[in-house]
Amino acid sequence: MKITDLKCTVLGSNPVIRITTDEGISGLGEVEASKHYLKPHIMFYKDFIVGEDPTDVERVMMRIRKGGSFKPWGSSVSAIEMALWDIAGKAAGLPVYKLLGGKIRDKVRVYNGGVRYPMDGNSPDAYAANMERMKASPEGFTIIKQGIAFHSGMPSAFPDYFYGEVQPGRFARTSGVLTERGLKYTVDCVQAMKDALGDEVGLALDCGPGLTVPDALKLAKAVEPLNVMWLEDMITGDYVPYVLADLYRDVTQSTSTPIHTGEQIYLRQNFKDLIEKRAVDVIGPDPCDIGGIAELKWVAEYADLHGILMAPHGVLDGLIGLAALVQVSATLPQNYIAFEYPVGNPKWWYDIVEGLPDPIVEDGFITVWDTPGMGVELNEEATRQYLPEGDEDFFD
């Protein structure tokens, strides 16, 4: 079997790739919705993979892996890797999880990152009310994540939240020292959310990047009695292309609150310091950023050897990305907690993707399906109306 073409389109905001072969088997991959601009970067790799055997996944990846980098640029490589596994599974007549070593769980736990409701203000009561709505959502989530501090509107909404200025622009980084009032307000909001959830649903908190080491430690110590699931990306994370493992270690070793990072990191090599120094308690690589699902599994295994937990990121990965997360999460070792549940946006995504269970999530879990490959396909007839001008040949 040989690769004959690499195609890419943008459906809604998610770049979607399709790799075709000379045996009529094709594979799909998807990039996060925040990276609609990556189509040219994805297509750069076409000449490197055409003519290769897609079922030799690692051999193909060795041809392109050096061309990626930290978020967002690793997404192109990651999407190609997922499409290769999709082809390999279909060619073998097996679900991808079988090719990754087989599943150790029949259901995978997810945490709520994608099911959102509008906030009615920014008071602690507003945070509590929002949490109550998510707790009541039909998916029955057992863990819910919420943004606070520099991963939220708090710096803009709360007067004198920190000693600094809010930086406008999507890729700008707002950071600084929290005022005493700002820190107290943050803790009050966390307390209100935890009161709303009780001990029935775990609360995870996305916090940055942008916190200083002293403030990260103050926040972690202040919420210790609340037993939150983790504090994520406090110092670095998101689109920051570096890790600063030594700084994370200073915080992690001084608190009982679990500390989490990793969504921006590309390739196993860049997790080395975090894991070997035990700089965090939880890592959260995104299959759409790390270099694909086999790369994510390798990192999970290595983290498990060091007593570090695994909670993969994925909020913007879309429904094809969701399928990839289900397949790889079924195979991860027992350090696995849950992966971040993505949703289809716009809603018509649920009309064009075939193969997902209905409902997808029940009581906070997704049952692993046994369809060959990733187990999902795009309905060509339903999808054509959403193809951008110039991409009419996506299914040809």
pLDDT digits (tens, 9 = 90+) for 360-369: 999 999 999 9
Does 394 map to a domain?
no
More confident site: 241 or 182: 182
- Same structural domain, 229 and 247: yes
CATH number for the domain that contains residue 67: 3.30.390.10
- Same structural domain, 319 and 205: yes
Kindly indicate the confidence band of residue 262, based on its pLDDT and cuts at 50, 70 and 90: very high
Total domains present in the chain: 2
Q: Which of 11, 71, 28, 39 minimizes the C-alpha distance to 313?
A: 71
DSSP 133-189: HHHTSTT--SEEEEE-GGGSSHHHHSTT-EES-PPPSTT----BEEPHHHHHHHHHH
Provide the percentage of residues in the chain whose pLDDT is more than 90.
Answer: 98
CATH number for the domain that contains residue 190: 3.20.20.120
Kindly indicate the confidence band of residue 12, based on its pLDDT and cuts at 50, 70 and 90: very high
Does 69 map to a domain?
yes
Question: Residue 254's pLDDT is what?
Answer: 98
- Same structural domain, 216 and 230: yes
Question: Residue 37's pLDDT is what?
Answer: 96
- Same structural domain, 88 and 124: no
Average pLDDT score over residue span 94-121: 97
Phi, psi of 353 (to 5 degrees): -100, 125
For the chain, give the mean pLDDT: 97
Whether pLDDT at 70 is above 90: yes
Whether pLDDT at 170 is above 90: no
Question: Residue 169's pLDDT is what?
Answer: 83
Does 396 map to a domain?
no
Does 270 map to a domain?
yes
Does 217 map to a domain?
yes
Question: Residue 105's pLDDT is what?
Answer: 98
Residue identified by tokens 């001008």 is 389
Whether pLDDT at 104 is above 90: yes
- Same structural domain, 31 and 107: no
Question: Residue 366's pLDDT is what?
Answer: 98
Question: Residue 369's pLDDT is what?
Answer: 98
Whether pLDDT at 129 is above 90: yes
Lowest mean pLDDT among 164-168, 357-361, 391-395: 164-168
- Same structural domain, 142 and 239: yes
- Same structural domain, 218 and 164: yes
Does 395 map to a domain?
no
- To the question of pTM greater than 0.75 for the whole model, the response is yes
Residue 90 amino acid letter: K
- Same structural domain, 82 and 191: no
- Same structural domain, 50 and 137: no
Does 389 map to a domain?
no
Q: Quote the CA–CA distance of 394 and 396 in Å, as a whole number.
A: 6
Whether pLDDT at 326 is above 90: yes
- Same structural domain, 196 and 73: no
- Same structural domain, 61 and 107: no
Whether pLDDT at 1 is above 90: yes
- Same structural domain, 137 and 42: no
Residue numbers of the domain that contains 348: 98-377
Rounded to 5, what percent of the chain is helix, strand, coil? 40, 15, 45
Average pLDDT score over residue span 32-43: 97
Whether pLDDT at 286 is above 90: yes
Does 390 map to a domain?
no
Whether pLDDT at 172 is above 90: no
